[in-house]
Structure 1
Amino acid sequence: MTPPDSTQSTLEHDPFVIGLKQRLPEELRDSFSDEQLRGLRSALATRSWARHKLDLRGTFSLWRTQYYFVVIGGRNKRNLSRAQEKLSMAAKAGAITLFLFFSALLGFVALYVLKSALGIDLLPNHSLGLWDWFKGNR
């Protein structure tokens, strides 16, 4: 009698193999050889494609029921469709436009406050009140 193979005992305790056998019909559960089980495990159980930069998984209980949540994120490596590319370009253009608009607005406000601090009056008897507000909040 030969001693049991260490790979055999590893396969018997492997979570993938156990789960696979539980999902198979009863007449097929013992029909796979160890070599076939190892092949199935290497083909299906390793999920190198599923590594994400952001991978947050957890469970929580609410009353008597337990729930799980998964939050994943990372770089999209799939090719975009033409519509997705157009939407992506429009979103980038919108973000750049918004950034430039608020940067210019902030620049104008800073210049206005600096002008007021230096006592330069471009329009006599007219003020936006920013300098008075700025002095009052210091």
Structure 2
Amino acid sequence: MTSPQNRPPVIERFYAHLDEQIAAGLTPEQKAGVENAILASTLASRHQIDIRRSFPFFSKRFYLVFLFGRDLRRQHRQESTLSRILLTFLLLIAVLFVTCCVLLTLYMIKSALGIDVFQNFHVGIWDWWLNQKNH
């Protein structure tokens, strides 16, 4: 059993909700067993960062939880096929967006330097940009 000063917040919350007479009737072995069971089931003591806050917002209370730490579970959760498809789609969109931004930036640099890759062929983005700049 951990000392009351060194107990994790989840254990403190447990004892705050437990009836005082029941808590007083527990033996040290029982308290240690209950605390170990709570810690094993919640993994609360194993997070390097454990931030739990609640705040009022338009006459209701909301909560924010931020946990960070190594994944210590024995079995990893199975991802659904839909989540994999969505993740792939979002990744594809992000890669396409970044690629287009890089190509546009390179084109603008090329145009600003006056480099013609193909004679008498211009996409027109540089001219449009200059017209927008002048207005």
Among 39, 43, 47, the alignment partner of 2:44 is: 47
> Residue 113 of structure 1 aligns to which amino acid in structure 2?
A
**Corresponding position of 1:22:** 19
* TM-score, structure 1 as length reference: 0.54
* TM-score, structure 2 as length reference: 0.55
Shift in Å, 1:108: 0.9
> Residue 98 of structure 2 aligns to which amino acid in structure 1?
F
- Matched position secondary structure for 2:108: helix
Alignment RMSD, CA only?
Answer: 4.5
Shift in Å, 1:36: 1.4
Q: Is the 8 A contact 1:52 1:72 kept in 2?
A: no
Q: Distance in 1 between matches of 2:95 and 2:106?
A: 16
Please tell me whether residue 33 in structure 1 is matched to residue 33 in structure 2.
no
Gaps of 5+ in 2: none
Shift in Å, 1:33: 2.7
Identity between Structure 1 and Structure 2 (%): 14
Q: Distance in 2 between matches of 1:87 and 1:66?
A: 33
Matches for 1:95-114 after TM superposition, within 5 Å:
95-114=94-113
- Matched position secondary structure for 1:70: strand
Query: Relative to 1, partners in 2 of residues 1:57 and 1:17: Cα closer, same or farther, differing over 3 Å?
Result: closer
Q: Distance in 2 between matches of 1:52 and 1:88?
A: 27
> Residue 82 of structure 2 aligns to which amino acid in structure 1?
A
Which runs of at least 4 in structure 1 moved beyond 3 Å after TM superposition?
A: 28-32, 55-62, 65-69, 73-79, 129-134
Matches for 1:1-12 after TM superposition, within 5 Å:
10=4
Query: Relative to 1, partners in 2 of residues 1:69 and 1:19: Cα closer, same or farther, differing over 3 Å?
Result: same
Tell me which of the two structures has the higher relative contact order, counting C-alpha pairs closer than 8 angstroms and 6 or more residues apart.
2
Q: Is the 8 A contact 2:54 2:61 kept in 1?
A: yes
Deviation per residue, 1:51-89 (Å, 9 max, x gap): 266x54445567xx8956424265887442221111111
